[in-house]
Structure 1
């Protein structure tokens, strides 16, 4: 049940959200040279303070003061969200770049190529880290990763890659060659875990902090000596500090928070009784941490939508630093209307003293959380105009532009190194620092319309403030009121968005891809991935047999016909850096309407067993690295009843008896929902999953984590590689979870419904475990009621779980029954096969790399040398053969 945190106690009410000021017409970017000069002064403050202090010392000693040549390195790190990939997103037409990618474009610094007199020469550096699930060659991800999308696999490597960027900055600042990608990847591997280990939760069986310390110790010591040397020779300006500006969206926001936590642990030292933060001997701090809608969820909700949790690398890493010296300021922009079960929010609010159960839940000083209308990507960005028929007037009408401007403004006000519109620069500023001006492409990414601003301000004025969870509950009721009219009463079919996704087609037809068209695009996408992989290995493009060649030709013809059918102006590119997403806008919105209308009208098909069961053999293989909780079906039923009731109240608030907007404010809010706010569940249940989530998700409040607390009562299912209650540890655990169907409990809260209901206490779900290789049941422990209790205070339950002894690993010593011996043999066989596959893959990779190097060397040789070398190889081969 969604309510104020820990209502079971008499704790003080949580702190309210920060209030968003009304949005100015024209946007929030700098408008004049004074704004630019003020931003520069903020960055120069530390050097000014050092100069003043040293000047005072010189004066006191009757010495002539000569200011030193000093520098501060300003480093921007951008962690993008799930399936966001700036290198390919910016090439789309129109671009689908997220807000993090757009802030990267606007940030000062040229990480790829130092230019004479450019921003990197002035101490500015910027780096972009693409989202989980997308291609990231530098860390060994050469194609899209499905479990990156579902479970944030690869997130830990991205955080560690961010740490290697700091080494790259210092090498460049010392006039050394940049850190080679291969050397950086070696460090990432030493600091982290393999994908297999990540999936199995092995990162939690090792001390991840120790791994990072050990991997970075030698390169940091070498860097420190190098810095001392170049300082002593006055070869470069004396580096006084490293200032970081870190942005993140979605799981990238979780990565940004983990990065901050890990960096603090790596750099914290005591100097003369004072806590300092030093990286290669230099003071380091995060001046600004800008977050868009943090999600650190495990992929369990893809197979168990009545669950929530954290990835292993994110668990325990998301609490903001208590030190303002290390983390000066944080701003978190949160989605008001996201409801997907597998996108639980991680708030930055927390108890100042985690050990005090009655401590008030508050925001640390200089940390701010703001609530923005729309879904996850309506805040973090990535939707192009026209997606689901929204923002048809162009990119300046896309809702995420509002949050983009707010984040830019917050960062710029504290001195973040960001480019500005040309209108804000004086002639002198433009002459001396031409790289301060946004390019035309970057300026276009920040365009925002007055129409959108007006609608946003109407929504803002209608909002009552309060604690995050309470305001989000009210916003869920507000959009439910809109859905009652647009979905349940089907008036969405009269909107411009619906007309757009229909594409002017007859009833029942649309611009959506048919099953045949989707199959053709998926085939072409897979073929392109194979070609890309061969090119990476230094091999020729794979030759197609006759059948595959014909299939390719047919698929190309189907693709061309589809492009002609929808009136595409140019061929649709195949983006192999990301997973293929078919165009299904019409299907998504139609099914969303059908689902909401059915659930709102309680038109459910009733099952005889009065229960719902999850039986999965792969969930624990992927999710042992984190925390997994079950939600409470009784609370879900109560949520449905409350949201339905409050949604009807908001329907009356928005619409009159004729179905028209009740007043000017309602008209603007309805227009915002009609034309700007997307339906993330509609996309998710049709494109990402292929099927809908559990029954009531349009009538479910979003799960929110507040450090070690939650707005929902949760029961701990698994943590740190341990399934709670399983008596032995095996490498592949499946779960069977049987619980009451919440639909049969709704009548307890809506007695007027004429459907069967349960009476009395609901009780705990029935949970059993099995070996996923053999489907043989595993022994379970008893007496774990306190650990399995449903509670909002997840931290207390976690402590109880951590005190439990780890189950013994299944071995010949404890496999004392015939079924367990069968499980053991299956596990041993699977492990042997896995090792053999890994060794074979390693040999192929080494051979491919060697072949690539040989071919590269040959291509660079003069023809005479090449012929002589090939002759030598031929003779050597003959000798080996004989």
Structure 2
């Protein structure tokens, strides 16, 4: 019944300001005992029940009943975070890796393993368990590999239960096979339904086998009896999105009707629950963010899976599937490619859709806290000294959130290691190996100075409010700081003076390290393939000439080794992640120059036809939205105006901090990084987010709603308005720079505006989108009369449901290619497929297609396409090997 589903917590609609700092680690032995008691809840209930049954039967009570629950902790790391690389110096482990290091994973006192912890590296990094052996640029941009990581997490539940029953740990080959069977392989429109079916088909036989083994164990009265499965799930960034999807996909596998009609959650007939979900700054954006930086959305596995599970509130709390969720989010992240997915949502109505009559609110036992800093200032991953900030590890701002998340998880009974001095004899007897390892002591260290500065921000952060309102006021606050530190000049600021003492890598070193990184990956691949060879490093160590080794094709190896500073530097190169040069000076100079230019309004006028960006979509699934540039123009004005007001509060003169704000300014100076400055230079010399700037509020999704006006561009592989279904689509979107709309609203900036060509703000406008065939450049036909589906809205979910109710367009076939243009497109697609088939060993397909095209005399009058369409066609042609 809908009225029995979990709503918000007493109608709670506000996000919370992070509390003043409190040490996350337990400060008394009693706190450790309380944590143990929470984990022994099922065991104590079973013992109590057994004693009651014994007394009822007239027998003496047993002093002990041998039983236990299994506790599984799963950790999904963030984009480009990989513990195996990040543990090397300089230490840059994320908070996910640090919590993993601080988690129990060993046998219980009876010798049977009951604690399991599993770590999943972030997308874009190496993960051999799922056959990702090299860093992936598309993983960094589009979260490729996310689906396989989630499926890998589901497999680990089988692995844990198998080990608990006396079996061996699941081998890598078996894991890879299961991941492959569960995968949807291609991002097709049927991703969600196919994925659910594939997971069921791959996992159900394994689950049934375990259920049978458990039943046999019970009949034979084998001890210890396994009572339940209790999970603790953590994630950061896209890893947080993976964690949320993991919860929903697991729910599909374990939810079933109970005897009294109420739902039960059982895995191999064992009660299962997620006791704690701890997530840092969820980013679910996957897909086209890099090609279309003004687009946003949820692609493939993230589409429709960000909502926390809905549950029946008639169930007792100890029988629910998800018992506690804590989401720590960034107050100051602004990158367009990192939109935030809040856990706030509207309750569902009787039709299963969000109920618009009720406010968007938080699920019971879930909470969202806002913390200062950027994305990785919250989730961790910065090394000390990066961008001249946090010159020691204990000064990293992410230490604050690390302690908070540990404290929340510990309070929920999570199996975490504790300081040795907090372990009593009773605790040690009940649970051996509780003491924190040396690496955790280092990773949890925190400076009193950082605490004092964070508390200064907390004291001035204002009251709790809806998340989008807190994000707005915090964006305006950091803009006030940037006006002084960026617009007024970097020189003299503490962080920039630190950077100047750490010179950027030269282009020569950058190029040499890039080649060496690629070569190291190639040698690793040769090792995997079983090749026998003398590596370049071995040859150089033996003082043998280049011609005497197996790397003679890399003629610059010896020279590159000298350029980077010796063989030791080569051996330190991390191949688990993409290579990134040290460019702090370049980053900050570019960021300051851009911010200052935008603050002054010093822009060159652009012609109206320069606003086109294009890209190619190959059978993508999920949903992509376009963001209304007029909406963003209003935001630009607000941030400019209110940021200036904050500047006058924070500073009494250029570079001179106002009394009472010293610690707050110091927090921004010495601890808050600039993620956008890094992002602009992370993949080469050219900026990546060329259509965005520092004067945008972060996009925040709330289930099917958002804080910005959006219009659907694509859903489930279908471009909105496209009249025919095709496999590969080129899109051109006309984009006007929001700054040029400001001349209509903020004339004091003196912005040149092309009068008469831009609509007034808040007037009805539609995005200008066209679709084309990437191979020929010919435009696809578009539907008429769908303007109502193209209008911008803050409730895009409503529009999506209307789109999904429309009949699907017909696929392009020989029969539906009824115009000369469509025939040309169809023939080009056949030719491309034939070439691909020929490369696969079937040349006859190519011959048949060419012969057919030669006999076809009908051709369209015009097939010439603009230059940028030619480039898109060339890109696809090269991809297929036909260019």
TM over 0.5: yes
Q: Aligned in 2, Cα 1:604/1:139: closer, same or farther, shift over 3 Å?
A: same
- By how many angstroms is 1:145 displaced? 1.0
Q: Aligned in 2, Cα 1:128/1:752: closer, same or farther, shift over 3 Å?
A: same
| Separation (CA, whole Å) in 2 of partners of 1:486 and 1:119 | 60
Report what 2:413 is aligned to.
415
User: Partner of 2:593: helix, strand, or coil?
Assistant: helix
Q: Aligned in 2, Cα 1:286/1:120: closer, same or farther, shift over 3 Å?
A: farther
| Separation (CA, whole Å) in 1 of partners of 2:303 and 2:759 | 38
* Equivalent residues of 1:531, 1:542 under 8 A apart: no
| Separation (CA, whole Å) in 1 of partners of 2:773 and 2:626 | 21
| Separation (CA, whole Å) in 2 of partners of 1:284 and 1:55 | 24
Report what 2:282 is aligned to.
294
- By how many angstroms is 1:833 displaced? 4.4
Q: Report Cα offsets for 1:439-491 as digits up to 9, x if no partner.
A: 1111110101110011111101101121100001000000000000000011x
Report what 2:831 is aligned to.
829
Report what 1:874 is aligned to.
none
Report what 1:537 is aligned to.
529
Which of 761, 783, 792 does residue 790 from structure 1 map onto?
Answer: 792
| Separation (CA, whole Å) in 2 of partners of 1:741 and 1:163 | 44
Which of 433, 436, 441 does residue 434 from structure 2 map onto?
Answer: 436
Counterpart mapping for 1:368-767 below 5 A: 368-392=367-391, 394-427=392-425, 429-430=427-428, 433-464=431-462, 465-490=464-489, 492-503=490-501, 511-541=503-533, 548-560=553-565, 573-609=572-608, 612-616=611-615, 618=616, 620-621=617-618, 624-664=620-660, 666-688=661-683, 690-757=686-753, 758=758, 760=760, 761=763, 763-767=765-769
TM-score by length of 2: 0.87
* Equivalent residues of 1:599, 1:696 under 8 A apart: no
* Equivalent residues of 1:306, 1:694 under 8 A apart: no
Report what 1:365 is aligned to.
364
Moved more, 270-279 or 373-382: 270-279
Q: Aligned in 2, Cα 1:628/1:658: closer, same or farther, shift over 3 Å?
A: closer
1:321 matches 2:321: no
Counterpart mapping for 1:110-509 below 5 A: 110=106, 121-194=112-185, 197-198=186-187, 201-204=188-191, 206-272=193-259, 273-323=261-311, 325-353=320-348, 354-392=353-391, 394-427=392-425, 429-430=427-428, 433-464=431-462, 465-490=464-489, 492-503=490-501
Counterpart mapping for 1:12-31 below 5 A: 15-24=13-22, 27-31=23-27
* Equivalent residues of 2:285, 2:298 under 8 A apart: yes
Counterpart mapping for 1:801-840 below 5 A: 801-834=803-836
User: Partner of 1:780: helix, strand, or coil?
Assistant: coil
Q: Aligned in 2, Cα 1:836/1:424: closer, same or farther, shift over 3 Å?
A: farther
- By how many angstroms is 1:740 displaced? 3.0
User: Partner of 2:565: helix, strand, or coil?
Assistant: helix
User: Partner of 2:250: helix, strand, or coil?
Assistant: helix
Q: Aligned in 2, Cα 1:570/1:211: closer, same or farther, shift over 3 Å?
A: closer
* Equivalent residues of 1:344, 1:705 under 8 A apart: yes
State the aligned residue count.
799
| Separation (CA, whole Å) in 1 of partners of 2:418 and 2:702 | 35
- By how many angstroms is 1:628 displaced? 0.5
Moved more, 766-775 or 590-599: 766-775
- By how many angstroms is 1:431 displaced? 6.3
Moved more, 430-439 or 344-353: 430-439
Moved more, 426-435 or 65-74: 426-435
Q: Aligned in 2, Cα 1:598/1:671: closer, same or farther, shift over 3 Å?
A: same
Moved more, 690-699 or 457-466: 690-699
User: Partner of 2:407: helix, strand, or coil?
Assistant: helix
- By how many angstroms is 1:61 displaced? 4.5
For structure 2, the 5+ residue unaligned runs are: 1-9, 312-316, 537-545, 843-883
* Equivalent residues of 1:430, 1:437 under 8 A apart: no
* Equivalent residues of 1:193, 1:202 under 8 A apart: no
- By how many angstroms is 1:719 displaced? 0.4
Q: Aligned in 2, Cα 1:816/1:540: closer, same or farther, shift over 3 Å?
A: farther
Q: CA RMSD in A?
A: 2.2
| Separation (CA, whole Å) in 2 of partners of 1:838 and 1:349 | 49
| Separation (CA, whole Å) in 2 of partners of 1:94 and 1:756 | 47
Q: Select the structure that is richer in helix.
A: 1
1:71 matches 2:68: yes
| Separation (CA, whole Å) in 2 of partners of 1:837 and 1:147 | 25
| Separation (CA, whole Å) in 2 of partners of 1:188 and 1:422 | 39
| Separation (CA, whole Å) in 1 of partners of 2:571 and 2:377 | 24
| Separation (CA, whole Å) in 1 of partners of 2:473 and 2:127 | 40
Q: Report Cα offsets for 1:575-600 as digits up to 9, x if no partner.
A: 11111111111100100000000000
User: Partner of 1:587: helix, strand, or coil?
Assistant: helix
Q: Aligned in 2, Cα 1:592/1:777: closer, same or farther, shift over 3 Å?
A: same
Report what 1:100 is aligned to.
96
Moved more, 750-759 or 404-413: 750-759
Report what 1:873 is aligned to.
none
Moved more, 454-463 or 800-809: 800-809
| Separation (CA, whole Å) in 2 of partners of 1:104 and 1:578 | 19
User: Partner of 2:465: helix, strand, or coil?
Assistant: coil
| Separation (CA, whole Å) in 1 of partners of 2:444 and 2:365 | 26
- By how many angstroms is 1:301 displaced? 2.1
Q: Report Cα offsets for 1:310-339 as digits up to 9, x if no partner.
A: 121011111101226000000000000000
Q: Aligned in 2, Cα 1:542/1:747: closer, same or farther, shift over 3 Å?
A: farther
1:41 matches 2:40: no
TM-score by length of 1: 0.87
User: Partner of 1:581: helix, strand, or coil?
Assistant: coil
| Separation (CA, whole Å) in 2 of partners of 1:606 and 1:803 | 43
- By how many angstroms is 1:70 displaced? 1.0
Moved more, 363-372 or 304-313: 304-313
| Separation (CA, whole Å) in 2 of partners of 1:692 and 1:738 | 18
